[in-house]
Every structure is written in structure tokens, then in C-alpha cells.
Structure 1
Amino acid sequence: MASVAVVGAGWAGCAAAVEASRLGHQVTLFERARTLGGRARAVELNGVLLDNGQHILLGAYAASLRLMQTVGIKPADAFLRLPLQMRYPPASGGMDFIAPRLPAPLHLLAALLRAKGLAAADKLALARFSSTARWMDWQLHQDCTVTQLLERFDQTARLTRLMWRPLCIAALNTVPERASAQVFLNVLRDSLGARRAASDMLIPKVDLTTLFPQHAAAYVERAGGSVVTGCAVQAIAPGSDAAHSGWTLQINGDAAAALQHFDAVIVATDPERASELLTAIPGAPALPPFEHEPITTCYLQYDAHIRLAQPFLALLDDAASGSWGQFVFDRGQLAADQAGLLAVVVSTSAVAIAAGQDALIAAVTRQLAEALRQPELLAPRWSKIISEKRATFSCTPALARPAADTGLDNLFLAGDYVASDYPATLESAIRSGVKAARLIAA
């Protein structure tokens, strides 16, 4: 049994701590904040426990679902499970696409035939994309942008605007003009190209800290490990003598010794902090720099009778007209105590937030009132904007991402930025944490 330090209790760190505990190691999980979850965590707004960003998971997120079950979460209780869909408000100029619960790929064929708001040319283009991607086994000889991929596959302008662009932005948090086509195809391969349930959309019914990190911490403690919050790891150094041949951590936090010794360390912080820690370690690899993309969520509280026709709807975003929202969620259909609360998601939101929060709230409420044809949406009872300015890395073509193994004995990396088929998602974070923990066992 090894003593293992996990630095950072975001989703990657929590996954690493759970998997290392499951494998029989003695784990200490360090988190400098008071709340677990990192960039996907709970926050309190006007007495309501919400998230720093609205998330959707996919049925294809096998590692996430498996680890949640490991720590005692029942996915049926934690998520509202919906079939694959891209549904816009009626008469808003969008489309209505929803996959019935049929075996794959019949569910996509039926959804395509029944789709409203798409012309015959749009439907043929979508069918052509799906069949060609399958024939290619979802692989490109050379990565390119999503925009270039769509042009190569002769996708129509309307289908691109209503389906491919919002899917790309939602999955990669990078606009199609800059996004990696290969990573986009990887996501489509594991969702649209897999069994029907893999394409299901899973909307959390509880806040993100409760959804996994809180249960993960309890699992680690039940296994004999410990979770230390409000505690920053300031430095990592090789053990100085035979008695401490692994790694020494310099700690600055509540009720923690200045120096602690471990056989193995998993650095599960953001890449910038990980780079700072590695720079001081002789022989450690230099991490590549990453560009980052923000995600903004606008919470709007209305009277309890305000309700969407579905749990969430897509919105037509248009920067030229100040229509920034891409999706709106009805929180009242997820939690009984949140009736009348809408959450509008603005991905790749750097331009949207530049004019300030008041301007963005005014723009989003105007967009909702026009799209849903409900003038009362112009005046919420209260509103709050949360911007995670470094929510994800920019998922650009052929992006260099570091390996989990640093090349140093029992020192590993975990995080959604670590080399993976996936973009910066909860699933990639969890996969990286599990992989790092298994490298210790190896």
C-alpha cells in the first residue's frame, strides 16, 4: 500500500483519490478552497445552492457514471435523463430534433425524418455527414477546424447554424472556426456513433459538488484516507533521504504540518498551477501553455409559474444583435425548490461579458422574451451572472497536451487538459484521475 497525495480536489483530483483508495492506497486529498469541485462546484446565490456553471453530461460518459456508482450515487436519482435533442422555442426560427428511444442508429434516422425546421437538403446533409464519418471510422488523417470539416462534408448553412455550431460550442467550448475537428469527431463517435443510450443527455438534479466531489470525499475517508480543505500545497520536492524516498510536500493551511511525506503524488490542479509546481522539481517536464475560454451562466429568478415547455431549449445566438445565450434551462423542472429559475448558458463568452454584467443581463432577458414570446421575461425578480473565466482550454486542432506520466517516479498529472480523446469535460477530468491512480498501482 502506498501513501498518495492528491493535490487539488476538482473532479480530476476527486476521481484520482477515489480510484487510488479503491486500489488500496492511503490517500490524502488536498484542496486550497473550502468547496470541493474546482471549476465545477456549488455556489450559494440568494439562499439557493446552485452551480458556477450549468452542465450537461452524456450517456457516453462511462467513466463518470462508473465512478459515481463506486461512491454510492445512483445515476437515476442524480440526473434527469433525456434523449438526444436540439429543440428551439416554437416560431423562433430554429428546429425541433429529438431522437426517439429506438436502437441505434434507427433513433437518429427517425429523429431526422421527424425533424421540423429542416429542409430536405439539410436532412440529406446530416445523413451524409453521419454515414461518411462512420465510413471514416471517425478519424482524420490530419486535424483541421470544425468549420473546414463541415465544408468538406458539404453541410448546409442552416444545419451548421442550428445543429453543428451549437453542438461544437457546447462540447468543446471553442467556436467551430478554431475548434479541433478530430476532437469533435471523437465526441460524436462516442455519442451519435454508439449505442442509443450513449447519446442521452444527463442534466444534474443536484448541485455539482453534491453530485460527485462530496461523495468522493466521503468514500476516501471511509477507506481510511483524509480530505484537507483550505490547505495549499506550495511546493513538491523529491524525498531527501532513505527514510523519505518518495516526495515531500510543503503545506500552508489549517491544521497541517509544514512538511508531509508521500510515496506518490498526483498533481490535479489547473495547468498553470501544475506548471508552477513542476518547474521547481529537477527533471520535471515543462507543460505547454494553454489558451483558455470562459463560460458564463446567467441565473434569472421569475415568479414560480414561469416554466419552459421542456427542461431545456436551444437558443439562436447572434453576436451582431446581442443575442448571446445558446441554451436555457428550467431549473424548476430539476429541483422542486427552484420553480421559476432559468439558467442561460453563454459558452465562449469573452465578448459577451466585456460590456459588463448589467448589459449582459439586459441582452439575455431581451433574447428570452423575444424567443419565447413572453414579455414578462424582461423583468426577473433577481438575476446573477457567474463567469468562470478559465473554464476550459481552447480546443484547437492538433493541440499538444501533456501525458499523465511525468517521467519521474510516482509523480503524475491529472486534469481535463491531460492528453485525451476528449475536450475539457467532466468526463475527461475523471478519466485522467482514474488513469493517474492506476499508474501508481502499475
Structure 2
Amino acid sequence: MAVLNNYSVAVLGGGYAGITAAAELAAAGVKVSVFEAGKVLGGRARKVWLEGKSLDNGQHLVIGAYTELLCMMAKVGVDSKAVFLRRPMELVVEPGFRLACPSVPAPLHLALGLLFAQGLSWSERFALVRTVRAAQAAKWKLAQDVTVSCWLKDQRQPDGLISRFWQPLTVAALNTPLECASAQVLLNVLRDSLGGVRAASDLLLPRLDFSALYPDTAAQFIEQKGGQIYRSRRIRRVEKTQQGWQLNGEPEVFDAVICALPPHGLSALHVSEPDVLPVQLNSWTYQPIVTVYLQYDPAVKLAKPMLGLSDSLAQWVFDRGFTHQTDGLMAVVISAEGQHQAFTQDELAEAVVLELHQRLGLPMDISWQRVITEKRATFACIPGLERPANQTSEVGFWLAGDYTAGLAGKGDYPATLEGAVRSGMAAAQGVLEELDQ
């Protein structure tokens, strides 16, 4: 086996994919240098400081099925019991819908959860059970991928069930409207969560901001292993020479490069071997995520840490008093494209405050508001999307990101933290195998 500590690898991007790849390489003895263009780590799941408040640029839910994320967090020294509020799966969507999986062994937990779902008529309840059971029997595989809306129509799902269960679930999981979202990818998520072991469906609500949750600790792990973390360092040019790979024309030479930039950011990167950048990304479309932060009186509290709303602008409301010791601070999530894009920030915040007042009984008075928009938060997760592999046509140049297909070419996850971590691990594994040859 090669002496890996004789090798150096550059990782472009300090998001969840890049920091995972770097941590895996550092653990194997490779000298790693991470180049992050921003001031903080985390990429599209990072800490944002606004007017003295520590916030996130978006809300991301972790579930027990995110095994690789949890594994990497443990590897770099994160105590998941301390950083998450972990609860058995409970989806509460107003008005009146509740699906909870009890703490009993699988698959009984799912059967009981579906059978006793509240807020549905018996016909809606049996329609839900029938469709999930059919998906299980088919091993969560479709003969041909279609949109979620087409699949639900084929499954004869009632409109009320769609608005209270399938709509909020799909948009939360895939960040893509039902009319164009991939039904197969949705089934992949259900396979690993509701269709997995009981603990796989647990909801893990972060107690820390998304930079502190994992990337910051991973960065410390990398530095302890002799690696370097460079913040506010944007890489614009990558060139392959006889000695190796060079960045921005600087003299340092690397044996390999893992490009963990977001897919829409690759067009701004000049690589001397242009064929390594996937051309199919040029035709991709992207979906936004908007988070509306509202500061109420500290005495204001939701009944649950997370509540959903059907047929409304606001989709999910997170009470950060439960998790972040910021009483009265609500984070309202609006995923994917929609009518909210026509609003100004002030108009959107005002509309959301009114909705929360009418639907949840929250007061109209707030002391502070802020709207954070990630315009290209995720790729549009559409049926049959051709996703690039981690490995490129050039030895020593690899891709990492939630948009890739992975070493096995499956690419069966949407743009999630778990998808990013899996891709980072796959890229690191590929580089290690190349260096060992």
C-alpha cells in the first residue's frame, strides 16, 4: 500500500460534501487543504450572523436514516446526543393532520402510524396505507420514473390527503413541486426512513447552527491531522501540470483535486482540462428555499418544535426556542418555487405573520424579522435526471456534491445533507484508491 502521508489533495469548497471528503482523506493520512470562498463553513447549510443573532441560511431536517452523516459526525468527534433533539417521527400538519410512528419495532411502527393517522377520513387513511404497502411490495421501485403528481394520480390519492401529507412531505424532502418532482427519488427517501428500521424515521432537530453542527468540528479534526482550512479563498483556476495540480497559478502542487463546489458554481471555474466538468449541468434548473425569521415575545411558543401548514405560503414552522435557546424565535420555511416569489421581503414577512396568526393563533406583533433566500438552494429533482459521477475523465480530478451519482452511479438521493456526505465519502474513497495504485 502506498504511504498516503506523502500525498496532498486540494478540496475546493467547505460545504458538507467538501468537508466530508477532506475529513476522510485526513483520517487516512493524506495532507489535505480545503479552500472555502466564504468566511464560514457549511456551504448551503451554514451559519449566518444578522444583527447580533446567530441564524442559519436555511432549515434542514436530519432523520435517523442519515446514517453516513451521523457516522462522519461521530468520526470527527461530534456527540450526536448533545447536538440533536431526537424524537420519534411525528408529522403534524395543520389543520388537524398527525402521523406518528410509535416506538415499536419495524415494520409495525409504520403500520400503526399509517393506520392511526389523525385528520384523515377512513377512505383517505386506507388510500395512504394501500399506496405505501404497494410501494413496499415493489421494493420501493417504479418501472419508470414519473412526476410525483402523476404517480399520486395513478395511485388514486384523494386531494385532501395530497394537500396534508404528500405535498408537504415531497416539497420538504425534494425541494421540488409535485408537478415536476421525481416519484422514484421520493420513494427512495421513504424507503430509508419510513420503510427502514424504527430509528430510521426519528426526527433529529439540530440544537446548533449548521456550521457548528458538523463542518467546524470536522475542520478542527482535519487540522489536528495536519491539514489546512483556508476560508475566504476562492479558487478560480485549476491547471494540471507535469508535477500535479496547481490552483490560481500558485506554486503549490497537489496530487489530486476534489471539486466540491455547488453545481451552478462550476461554470465560474476554469480547468485546464475542460472535459472534466459535466456538460449536462448546463441544462439543469434549480429551486429556491426561503426562510422567514420572526421574533415574537419570548413567551410565545408552539405546541411542537416543528409544525406544518397545508395550502398556505408558510410550509413548515420551527420553534427555535425548543432547540436553540432563543425563545419566541420562529423560522418559517417556504421550499421550492411558488407564488411567494412575487412578494417583496417585507410583503412576504407580513403575509407569513398573518398566516401564523390565523392558522396557529400566534400574535400579530413581532419585534424583528428577516427573510433569507437561497435562490439556487438545490437542483430541481426531476424524473430521470442524469447525474454526473464523482469520477471524471481526468485522473486526479474528482467531483463531490449532493448532485452527483456516487461511485455506484445510483444518485438516488435528493439534495440533502446526507446526499452531500455520501458524495464526499465516495470522492475521498476514489482518490484514496487512485493514490494507492
TM-score bracket, normalised by the shorter chain, equals: over 0.9
Deviation at 1:238, TM superposition (A): 1.0
Q: Distance in 1 between matches of 2:93 and 2:338?
A: 24
CA offsets 1:240-270 (integer angstroms, 9 cap, x no match): x3xx1x211116xxxxxx3321001000001
**What residue is the counterpart of 2:359 in the other structure?**
371
Query: Aligned ranges for residues 240-279 of structure 1 at < 5 Å?
Result: 241=242, 244=243, 246-250=244-248, 258-277=250-269
Partner in structure 2 of residue 298 of structure 1: 292
CA contact (8 A) 1:71 1:216 kept: yes
After TM superposition, the structure 1 = structure 2 runs for residues 23-422 of structure 1, keeping only pairs within 5 Å, are 23-89=28-94, 93-239=95-241, 241=242, 244=243, 246-250=244-248, 258-277=250-269, 280-288=272-280, 289=282, 290-317=284-311, 323-336=312-325, 338-349=326-337, 351-374=339-362, 376=363, 378-419=364-405, 420-422=411-413
Q: Which amino acid aligns with 1:404?
A: N
Q: Cα distance, 1:350 vs. partner?
A: 5.0
1:250/1:260 contact within 8 Å kept: no
Q: Distance in 1 between matches of 2:135 and 2:270?
A: 40
SS of 1:259's equivalent? coil
CA deviation after TM superposition for structure 1 residue 286, in Å: 3.4
Q: 1:369 to 1:282 in 2, by over 3 A?
A: closer
CA distance 1:169–1:133, change in 2 (3 Å): same
Say if 1:438 and 1:120 are closer, same or farther in 2 by CA, change over 3 A. Answer: same
Could you list the runs of 5+ residues in structure 2 that have no partner in the other structure?
406-410
Equivalent in 420, 425, 434 of residue 425 of structure 2? 434
In structure 1, C-alpha distance between the alignment counterparts of 2:110 and 2:256, rounded to whole Å: 46
What's the TM-score once normalised by structure 1's chain length?
0.93
C-alpha deviation, 1:111, in angstroms:
1.9
Alignment check: 8 A CA contact 2:68 2:421 kept: yes
Amino acid at match of 1:403: A
Task: Indicate whether 1:13 and 2:18 are aligned.
Answer: yes
Cα-to-partner distance string for 1:385-417 (whole Å, 9 max, x where unaligned): 101111000000001111100021111000111
Q: Is the 8 A contact 1:94 1:316 kept in 2?
A: no
The gaps in structure 1 that reach 5 residues or longer are 252-257, 318-322
Q: What code does the residue aligned with 2:32 have? A: V
Q: Which amino acid aligns with 2:379?
A: F
How far has the Cα of 1:113 moved from its partner?
3.3
CA-CA distance at 1:352 after TM superposition: 0.7
Give RMSD over aligned pairs. Answer: 1.4
Report % sequence identity: 44
Q: Secondary structure at the match of 1:165?
A: helix
Cα deviation for residue 166 of structure 1 reads 0.7
Of 282-291 and 219-228, the range deviating more from structure 2? 282-291
CA offsets 1:211-260 (integer angstroms, 9 cap, x no match)? 01101110110000100111111211111x3xx1x211116xxxxxx332
- Which residue identity is paired with 1:373? G
Which letter does structure 1 place at the counterpart of 2:35?
F
Alpha-carbon distance, 1:273 to partner: 2.6
Runs of 4+ off more than 4 Å: none
Aligned pair count reads: 421
How far did 1:278 drift? 5.8
